[in-house]
């Protein structure tokens, strides 16, 4: 049996040489913001690989986080694990409408499923799934809505690409199309393997703080919460004065909704607008009943989240972990401590991940969360 392999380097050719075999089915790459995606593409092209990847602001490889802007990490899956895969991509450039992105995402997933013989209405819930790497300069919601329309029960996980903190340049690469695109890999595992997708966030509920969205100026622009200026209502819920509001407040006190069974779909606040409204990192619908949450250390929740994998013979772990979680770890000096949480829970398991500018799981775009994919022996 061939192995699942990971490797990190500043040189993509070194990575491919280290992880590619004659038996490789799919490769995933995450790269720092100093890498030119066209150069990466041109170096990958001669190897005739099915792949996807994206720019990020930090990445995970077994045992450590790389927070520089030069390095690249790669992971290869052999055909013994991935029986069949189709990679395709949707143009997500700024001039495209949400409807066009949604339709394209729907049509390309349907086409990929037809090519693989996957019945999207009834996918194999243990062996068929998709990984999404989406251009972080555009909202992921339209892309995800298209996928949900194509096959609600197809499980998906992934994240949106990042880069430098000025957030002017980011991109996605794939064996289909690269650039400002959303790429997906539709995957069927061999009968010897299964998968598990899940999400982890680290917040305590602030009791009795429901903030109803009563006025919006756009999908990411909240004007009023509980019929009051949004910033005022938020400050009252947090328990601070308006002039004390700053970026740390937004990092520490976030919003979310609860679909049930302790699930939390987090929407983070980016900043205050020029008046008294709030801008968010995620699309919001009018009438949303936001719960307020307070951030806490990630160590315990990460360890608890990984307990779901206990007793399973995990062979690979892919992490799509919010860049805000990366930054929080830096602030709390927990970077290595969290990397070790993963090593303790999944010793010697190949791991790969990146700092996302929003994460997705099963049609939902979320913030300040890690979504993950684990493959294990059946």
Partner 1 sequence: METRKGAINKILHDVYDALCNGQSDEMKKRIVRVQISLKTGLNLNGYTPQSEDSEADIKKVLGVIKGPEIGLKDYTYKP
CB neighbourhood size of 68 (10 A): 11
CA distance 189 to 260: 29
Among 70, 122, 344, 377, binds partner 1 (CB under 8 A): 122
Q: Does 285 bind partner 1 (CB under 8 A)?
A: yes
Which residue from 259, 274, 310, 311 is in contact with partner 1, where contact means CB under 8 A? Answer: 259
Kindly state whether residue 265 participates in binding partner 1, applying the rule CB under 8 A: yes
The SS3 of residue 4 is coil
List the one residue from 42, 289, 300, 331 that touches partner 1 (CB under 8 A): 289
Q: Please report how close the Cβ of residue 209 comes to partner 1 at its closest, in angstroms.
A: 12
Structure tokens that stand for 318 in this block: 């892919």
Q: Which is nearer to partner 1, 4 or 197 (CB)?
A: 197
Task: Tell which one of 284, 306, 349, 352 touches partner 1 (CB under 8 A).
Answer: 284
Q: Which residues contact 154 (CB under 8 A, 6 or more apart)?
A: 109, 113, 118, 120, 123, 128, 129, 130, 147
The window from 55-63, 71-79, 252-260, 316-324 that contacts partner 1 (CB under 8 A) reads 252-260
Binding test (CB under 8 A) with partner 1, winner from 17, 45, 119, 153 = 153
> Locate tokens 């009051």: which residue?
228
C-beta of residue 288 within 8 angstroms of C-beta of residue 353: no
Nearer to partner 1, 121 or 242 (CB): 121
Count other Cβ atoms within 10 Å, centred on residue 333. Answer: 8
Q: Is 363 near partner 1 (CB under 8 A)?
A: yes
Q: Which is nearer to partner 1, 82 or 213 (CB)?
A: 213
Q: What are phi and psi of 137, to 5 degrees?
A: -80, -10
Strands 155-160 and 359-361, bridge-based pairing: antiparallel
Tell me the two tokens of residue 126. Answer: 């243990």
The residue ranges that bind partner 1 (CB under 8 A) are 122, 124-126, 145, 148-149, 152-153, 155, 210, 213, 257-261, 263, 265, 284-291, 361-364
């Amino acid at each position: 049996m061939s192995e699942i392999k990971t490797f990190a380097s500043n040189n993509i050719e070194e990575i491919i040489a280290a992880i590619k075999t004659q038996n490789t089915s799919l490769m995933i790459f995450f790269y720092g913001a100093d890498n030119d995606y066209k150069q990466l593409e041109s170096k990958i092209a001669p190897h005739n690989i099915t792949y996807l990847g994206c720019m990020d602001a930090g990445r995970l490889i077994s045992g450590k986080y790389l927070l520089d802007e030069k390095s690249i990490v790669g992971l290869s899956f052999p055909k013994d694990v991935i029986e069949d895969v189709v990679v395709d991509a949707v143009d997500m450039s700024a001039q495209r409408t949400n409807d066009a992105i949604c339709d394209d995402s729907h049509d390309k997933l349907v086409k990929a499923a037809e090519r693989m013989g996957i019945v999207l209405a009834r996918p194999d819930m243990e062996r068929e799934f998709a990984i999404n790497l989406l251009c972080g300069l555009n909202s992921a919601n339209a892309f995800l809505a298209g996928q949900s329309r194509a096959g609600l029960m197809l499980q998906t996980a992934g994240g949106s690409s990042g880069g430098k903190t000025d957030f002017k340049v980011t991109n996605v690469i794939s064996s289909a199309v690269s650039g400002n695109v959303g790429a997906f890999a539709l995957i069927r595992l061999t009968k010897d393997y299964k998968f598990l997708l899940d999400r982890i966030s680290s917040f305590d509920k602030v009791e009795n703080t429901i903030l109803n969205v009563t006025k919006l100026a756009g999908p990411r622009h909240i004007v009023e919460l509980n019929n009051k200026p949004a910033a005022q209502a938020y400050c009252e819920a947090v328990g601070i004065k308006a002039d004390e509001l700053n970026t740390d407040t937004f990092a520490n006190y976030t919003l979310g909704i609860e679909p049930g069974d302790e699930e939390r779909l987090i929407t983070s606040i980016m900043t205050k607008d020029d008046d008294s409204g709030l801008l968010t990192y995620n699309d919001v619908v009018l009438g949303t009943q936001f719960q307020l949450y307070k951030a806490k250390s990630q160590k315990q929740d990460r360890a608890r989240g990984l307990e779901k994998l206990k007793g399973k013979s995990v062979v690979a772990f892919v992490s799509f972990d919010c860049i805000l979680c990366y930054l929080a770890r830096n602030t709390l000096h927990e970077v290595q401590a969290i990397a070790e949480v993963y090593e303790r829970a999944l010793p010697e398991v190949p791991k790969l991940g990146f700092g996302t500018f929003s994460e997705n799981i099963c049609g939902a775009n979320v913030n300040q969360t890690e979504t993950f994919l684990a493959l294990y022996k059946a």
